[in-house]
Structure 1
């Protein structure tokens, strides 16, 4: 993520401005950051997760969304584009520009965003009362880190590696790692 020409906006002005842009931008506390393109493995893994979730959520009130849907974290004065997210909230089903109540957020790591996905972005995501699980997907190590909110509002890490299923308690389903990393060549 790179800073875009030092632009500063209110949240409302950002939404209006971004509608006319050819690139996606994230917004944090008035600052605007241009989103860069992703490598093929990143796109494949994001697509695999989205497709698996969409199929498993069919017939439920939950919907899976992929990278082009904005997420608003109002308490952080921010808008993000998670790689994948799922919302079961009725307000999000009616939303036009952005979601505000995801139960699950997935970020697929890239070299340029890994530190931010694990740090500042996760700090902002934790401010979402609706969020129950945050997945960080590490393609290079074929690993999924699932941070799950506890009843005490702490976040507990569940590490998935190897030939196992990633358990998503927030949605009462599981995703096999083989399905998440399908079509990814081993190094």
Structure 2
């Protein structure tokens, strides 16, 4: 299946799917930890964009990103800058920040093929992998040429430049609830 065929097939279909090298992949149901982490990341991105007064928009999962002719991913969150996205759009062509929340079933995919796939998109400057269990972010950043720089951040502010936003990690990993 091509990306174009997949987007037509997937629209309005119940469940969540991605396309990997032409094959449809059904996404597993998410755990509460995963859903909470997605919500926190979304709110943190929106707050950072507001503080930076940037003409960018944060999207929660549900928007698709085309990697190539036969690969389409649905990241847990993303940031797109520039022109306003049409209300009926289902695809973001030029994300600048892409976020995936680790889950037991996707750990190797998020750290492997999605890492290389997202950076094949010229607009992607940052790929954040959020580990909600270890309470940290693995930040992959596009460097000069074909260099991808990686660092692990567990607290403080994470500067994402471009587009020029400061992501406050305090809101991502709140104090653990009492046992």
TM-score normalised by structure 1 residue count: 0.86
Per the TM alignment, residue 89 of structure 1 is displaced from its structure 2 partner at its CA by 3.7
Q: Deviations over 1:7-33 (max 9, x none)?
A: xx2222211111241111101221000
Q: Does 1:156 pair with 2:152?
A: no
Task: Classify the secondary structure of the residue corresponding to 2:117.
Answer: helix
Aligned with residue 114 of structure 1, among 104, 107, 115: 107
Task: Name the residue aligned to 2:16.
Answer: 24
Higher relative contact order (CA 8 A, sep 6+): 2
The correspondence for 2:35, drawn from 43, 48, 70, is 43
Cα RMSD for the two superposed structures? 2.0
Whether 1:73 and 2:67 are equivalent positions in the alignment is: yes
Distance 2:177 2:62 in 1: 26
* Distance verdict in 2 for CA 1:79–1:165, change over 3 Å: same
TM-score, normalised to structure 2's length? 0.89
SS of residue in 2 equivalent to 1:182: coil
- The structure 1 segments of at least 4 consecutive aligned residues displaced by more than 3 Å after TM superposition are 183-187
Unpaired runs of 5+ in structure 1? 1-8
Q: Would you say how many aligned residue pairs link Structure 1 and Structure 2?
A: 176
Check whether the contact 1:143–1:160 (CA below 8 A) recurs between aligned residues.
yes
Deviation at 1:184, TM superposition (A): 4.9
